[in-house]
Amino acid sequence: MSPSSDANGTNRTSGTSGTNGASDDDPHPDGWEPRDPTLADPGPPRRPRRVLRTLLGLLLLGGLLLVGGFAAGYLLVEIPPANAAAVAQSNVYLYRDGTPLARDGEVNRESVRLDQIPLPVRHAVLAAEERDFQTSRAVDPKAMVRAAWNTVTGKGRQSGSTITQQYVKNYYLGQEQTLTRKAKEFFIALKLGREKSKEEILQGYLNTSYFGRNAYGVQAAARAYYGKDVQQLDTAEGAYLASLLKAPSAYDVTTHPENRAKAVARWHYVLDGMVGEGWLSPAARAAARFPVPQTARATSALSGQRGYLVQAVEQYLTDHGIVDEKTLAGGGFRITTTLEPAKQEALVQAVEDRVVSRLDPASAPADRYVRVGAAAVDPATGKVLAMYGGVDYTQQYVNNATRRDYQVGSTFKPFVFTAAVQNGAQTQQGRPITPYTLYDGTNRRPVEGWNGEPYDPANEDEASYGDINVGAATGLSVNTVYAQMAVDVGPADVRRTAIALGLPRSTPDLTASPSIALGSATASVLDMASAYATLAAHGRNGTYSLVESISQGGRELELPAVARRQAVSREAADTTTSILRGVVDTGTGTAAQAAGRPAAGKTGTAEDDKAAWFAGYTPELATVVALMGQDPESGAQESLYGALGQPRMNGGGAPAEIWARFTREALDGTPPQDFELRLMPGAEPMPTPPPAPDGSAGPDGPESPDGPDGPDGPDGSEDWYETGEAGPGASRAPQPSPTAARSQ
């Protein structure tokens, strides 16, 4: 049937009933019903509308709660009086046994009026901290949310605080990172922004901010860094002080010269911001030069070694996140260190006896350059037991035990050999690297197997050694041997091993290239002591510690757990110890024998004799000593030629003598312990070959014999160190004696 239309114009199909059971008599086939025009449109289903109403209600309720909470917070949180930290108290430092070590001085404060602070200095601070301060609100919710998000997502902790909020935190609250404190800071800042002018807030901020060197406020900072009142600061100096607000101590270029590049970059950022805001002309910006601050001066309360020890402990606390710098500077802490008074005194006396008492700048001008740094670590625990930072904290502010700007020289070479054993490395010819493996010690021999720039290091005094085994090359500190060994191992693996032993990953110039073997890295004395302590502990290592406990107001603060782990295999560490014993027995470190105990060690000299090192250990104590050359006026590194009446300075001289004197005194009264070594296969001591009739080294033999185990270490087989011979398989050519060359 064809469709037809009814009188209303509605299409309708006639015929048999459809699938819905409609008959021909049904006026609405297929179950279709027309809408009654008298009935209202039922509209869409009711469920979505109900959900929408619920959501709108929840949003409204949330908004009301938020507004109510905001109003309640604003009404309930009052502007409090200045907090206790605004008038800080001293921190007390104790030796490990509880006896007093030091008490730092009162906080250095001096408030000034805003009109006493030069306008360029104020602009520099605004360029560093909040460039739209004059027009912005007291709080910046967007910045706070952004900072919280960056912190949560691992992009670094950020405060998101305005200058007003920072002032509230400094003067009215505290430095703790809690939600309660942040909420109070928010509401107090809002009220302060309504009740005080921008000028009053900026004045308060500039008088309460911490600039490092125990200086609170811009006036104290001007005196501490430039020895002048704030009124006399120029634009460049003001920009540097403004830079310090981000990281006060870290950006102090005199105490942390290794951070100079970062500090200068921050200074440039401040000046560029001033130009961008129209506060400084491009011409004045171009003429600005970085204003190096004066050397920091300490109070008499921190004279002698006390200031160095306090400085190192404070750095340890802040670097490990135990307490932040500003809170620590606020005072009130009782800190028990790991330092032992008897060992500390022994170290000071050893330096005084072997160096300080012998200095005579009038007859030896180089003596005025001499600086000494030393640190002693317990291999079993990683605790720092003694430290020498300089002649006097009030005269030489930089801690020579923790600074990282002098090359470590050949004291790095043992890490190369440890890496070789740890990684099962082989020579270019496929021979396993053991103490008896032969290398070509010819001067200026280019390294093989390196794809980078050609590298042909010189040996000390341009000496050539021909074929020489690793043990003898270590005793004589042959550069060509160790540069080639670094390539054989892989410079990247050498770097990883050094870090595993204890050097910080951020150590300057710790680069994966053949030169890494010669000690171009500038690790600190304390870093090196920690790494050598790992060797003494049979390869076990954990972060060194300087603090036993810390409390404030009777409340103990939690210290990070120091998990000791097997950094390298025992065989790798112990085999390294075996060849370092030869350095002390017959190599360049024989002065260390005066300790009267079994000892292992390595000498080292930086380029141009700017530093001389001795790093050594007994089973009970690891100690590193370094002499450094620095001009006391300019701060420039200087050579030590002629110092202490010696034509040239080397690690086997005064550094090894200090080490021996200290070790003897520090361990006095305890029975000597021998090393219990587990050596790698092929490193067992070899008997001295019988002399040939013509006096040569004797018949050739295997390079790495598999004979029966002998006594641990090189005992009974010292002749191959003493003569420079390689044992069986060595070249018959005579080798230079250990005194013919110094450690590079």
Verify whether residue 620 is a known catalytic residue: no
Alpha-carbon 624 to chain mean position: 18
- 3-state class (DSSP) for residue 475: helix
| Candidates 161, 209, 249, 410; catalytic one | 410
Which DSSP state fits 626?
E
The C-alpha atoms of residue 214 and residue 231 are separated, in whole angstroms, by: 20
Angle at 531 between CA 651 and CA 372, to 5 degrees: 40
The C-alpha atoms of residue 242 and residue 183 are separated, in whole angstroms, by: 27
What are the φ and ψ backbone dihedral angles of 363, each rounded to 5 degrees?
A: -100, -20
C-beta of residue 474 within 8 angstroms of C-beta of residue 589: no
The C-alpha atoms of residue 201 and residue 212 are separated, in whole angstroms, by: 21
Largest CA distance in the chain: 138
The C-alpha atoms of residue 401 and residue 390 are separated, in whole angstroms, by: 8
Alpha-helix residue ranges (DSSP H) falling in 587-698: 654-666
Closest CA to 235 of 115, 125, 112: 125
Structure tokens at 685: 């001591």
Closest CA to 236 of 314, 385, 127: 127
Verify whether residue 199 is a known catalytic residue: no
Structure tokens at 306: 């006390």
User: Beta-strand (E) ranges in 202-286?
Assistant: 215-216
- Cβ-count burial 388-425 (b if 16+ within 10 Å, e if not): bbbbbbbebbbbbbbbbbbbbbbbbbbbbbbbbbbbeb
* C-alpha separations of 634 from 37, 293, 629 in Å: 101, 11, 12
- Bridge-partner residues for 333, per DSSP? 552
The C-alpha atoms of residue 730 and residue 732 are separated, in whole angstroms, by: 6
The C-alpha atoms of residue 705 and residue 716 are separated, in whole angstroms, by: 16
Residues 6+ apart with CB under 8 A from 25: none
Burial of 343 (0-12, 13-18, 19+ CB in 10 A): buried
- 3-state class (DSSP) for residue 166: helix
The C-alpha atoms of residue 733 and residue 725 are separated, in whole angstroms, by: 9
The C-alpha atoms of residue 612 and residue 604 are separated, in whole angstroms, by: 6
C-beta of residue 720 within 8 angstroms of C-beta of residue 469: yes
Which amino acid belongs to residue 381?
Answer: T
Closest CA to 489 of 453, 518, 523, 513: 513
Side-chain-side CA neighbours of residue 39 (13 Å): 6
Which DSSP state fits 671?
-
The C-alpha atoms of residue 648 and residue 658 are separated, in whole angstroms, by: 17
- Provide the annotated active-site residues: 129, 410
